[in-house]
């Protein structure tokens, strides 16, 4: 079967996504489409247009490591993965929601397969720009995501994973956004021991920032590199207002990440699984902000 025969339109994604959770075709026809879309988003986190585009990208991309083979194109499993990222519930409860009567372990394995596949689109969707036409290019913000602390044989607090600033174990994540485009440019995921500045150095952002250009950041570490700009009491009121809007825009992106409950609560699936889950969610949010459809467009505001 050709990949284009497996393509899913937004309407088909909406119909099938609701049917598998028990909303019949007849019930959907009795509702306004907006009501159906709201119901879809409550279970999968995003508008049906976005997973439709993502699904089709996975089937048609020319990147070999990203492309899903036709034999693996299981839409139900794809929907399970979206629901897993969106809603925090046990596998047993999720099985009941989808009325799945098969092997519960197969459901879990299938979910992780599709989370991995969504995350592989990071190279296709999240990338550095190649043109620079403004002095301020990026905004950067770091966030700590908690997890259960791995035991250390010698120390009470695991020195690899414990972050003293946030007083918890987890992952330190830096998100780099383009200030003037609907584009997440990079995500850097490091162990909790890394501070924000160390994480920025690991990200390679400074190599993707020409001389004369800057990134706007929070915190005092703006003084640690000539390509960073933070609060400056000597800025004009206009520049201060501009920087405040840039930081607010970054917080808006972070809030959209936490629409997905997998990132909203303490991560409980092991330290190896967090990077792929975060990356998958970042890919989903990138699809969300870049959509230009006037009926559903929800871009980050312009600064």
Q: Which 3-state string (H, E, C) describes 36-104?
A: HHHHHHHHHCCCCHHHHHHHHHHHHCCCCCCCCCHHHCCHHHHHHHHHHHHCCCCHHHHHHHCCCCCCH
Decide which of 64, 90, 120 is a domain's last residue.
120
Q: Provide the 3-class DSSP secondary structure of residue 250.
A: helix
Decide which of 72, 93, 120 is a domain's last residue.
120
Same domain, 79 and 178: no
Same domain, 242 and 175: yes
Q: Provide the 3-class DSSP secondary structure of residue 123.
A: helix
**Residues 6 or more apart in contact with residue 113 via CB below 8 angstroms:** 72, 77, 81
- Cα-based angle 259, 264, 265 (whole degrees, multiple of 5): 150
Same domain, 95 and 150: no
Q: How far apart are the first and last CA of the chain?
A: 46
Average pLDDT, the chain: 91
What is the pLDDT averaged over residues 243-265?
A: 94
Element (H, E) at 249: helix 237-257
CA–CA dist 300, 46 (Å, integer): 15
Same domain, 85 and 8: yes
236, part of any domain? yes
Same domain, 175 and 248: yes
280, part of any domain? no
Same domain, 116 and 140: no
Same domain, 33 and 79: yes
Same domain, 190 and 237: yes
216, part of any domain? yes
pLDDT by residue (tens digit) across 201-240? 999 999 999 999 999 998 767 778 999 999 888 999 999 9
Indicate the range of 17-21, 51-55, 77-81, 165-169 predicted with least confidence.
Answer: 165-169
Whole-prediction pTM:
0.93
Same domain, 99 and 68: yes
What is the pLDDT averaged over residues 36-46?
A: 96
For residues 71 and 39, which has the higher predicted lDDT (pLDDT)?
Answer: 39
Same domain, 208 and 96: no
Decide which of 51, 85, 120 is a domain's last residue.
120
Q: How many CA atoms lie within 13 A of 262 on its CB side?
A: 25
- In 3D space, the residue among 139, 190, 186 whose CA is nearest the CA of residue 160 turns out to be 190
- In 3D space, the residue among 46, 79, 59 whose CA is nearest the CA of residue 5 turns out to be 59
74, part of any domain? yes
Beta strands (DSSP E) in the chain are: 136-146, 162-163, 168-178, 184-191, 214-217, 228-229
What is the pLDDT averaged over residues 46-68?
A: 93
- Percent share of the chain, pLDDT over 90: 73
Same domain, 180 and 154: yes
pLDDT band at 2 (very low <50, low <70, confident <90, very high): low
CA–CA dist 67, 55 (Å, integer): 10
CB 164 within 8 A of CB 285: no
CB 37 within 8 A of CB 80: no
> What's the domain count of the chain?
2
| Radius of gyration for the chain, computed over Cα atoms and rounded to the nearest angstrom | 21
CA–CA dist 14, 231 (Å, integer): 45
Decide if pLDDT at 1 tops 50.
Answer: no
Same domain, 145 and 116: no
Residue 255: burial class (beta carbons within 10 Å; 0-12, 13-18, 19+): exposed
pLDDT at 154: 66
25, part of any domain? yes
CB 248 within 8 A of CB 177: no
Decide if pLDDT at 36 tops 50.
Answer: yes
Residue 194, domain extent:
136-269
């Amino acid at each position: 079967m050709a990949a284009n025969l497996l393509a899913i339109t937004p309407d088909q994604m909406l119909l099938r996504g609701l049917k598998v959770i028990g909303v019949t075709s007849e019930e959907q026809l009795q509702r306004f489409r907006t009501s159906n879309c709201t119901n879809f988003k409550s279970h999968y986190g995003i508008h049906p247009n976005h997973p439709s585009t993502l699904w089709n990208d996975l089937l048609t991309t020319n990147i070999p490591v990203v492309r899903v083979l036709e034999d693996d194109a299981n839409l139900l499993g794809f929907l399970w993965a979206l629901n897993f990222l969106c809603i925090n519930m046990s596998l047993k409860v999720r099985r009941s929601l989808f009325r799945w009567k098969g092997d519960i372990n197969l459901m879990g394995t299938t979910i992780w397969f599709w989370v991995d596949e969504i995350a592989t689109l990071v190279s296709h969707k999240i990338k550095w720009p190649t043109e620079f036409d403004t002095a301020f290019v990026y905004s950067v913000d770091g966030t700590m995501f908690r997890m259960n602390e791995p035991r250390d044989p010698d120390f009470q607090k695991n020195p690899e994973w414990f972050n003293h600033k946030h007083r918890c174990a987890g992952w330190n994540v830096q998100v780099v956004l383009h200030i003037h485009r609907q584009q997440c440019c990079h995500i850097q995921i490091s162990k909790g021991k890394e501070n924000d500045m160390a994480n920025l150095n690991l990200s390679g952002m400074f190599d993707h920032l020409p001389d004369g250009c800057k990134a706007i950041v929070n915190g005092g570490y703006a003084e640690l590199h000539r390509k960073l700009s933070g609060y400056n009491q000597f800025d004009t009121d206009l520049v201060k207002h501009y920087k405040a809007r840039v930081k607010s825009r970054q917080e808006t992106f972070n809030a959209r990440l936490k629409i997905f409950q997998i990132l909203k609560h303490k991560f409980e699936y092991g330290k190896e699984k967090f990077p792929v889950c975060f990356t998958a969610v970042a890919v989903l949010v990138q699809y969300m902000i870049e959509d230009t459809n006037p009926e559903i467009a929800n871009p980050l505001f312009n600064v």
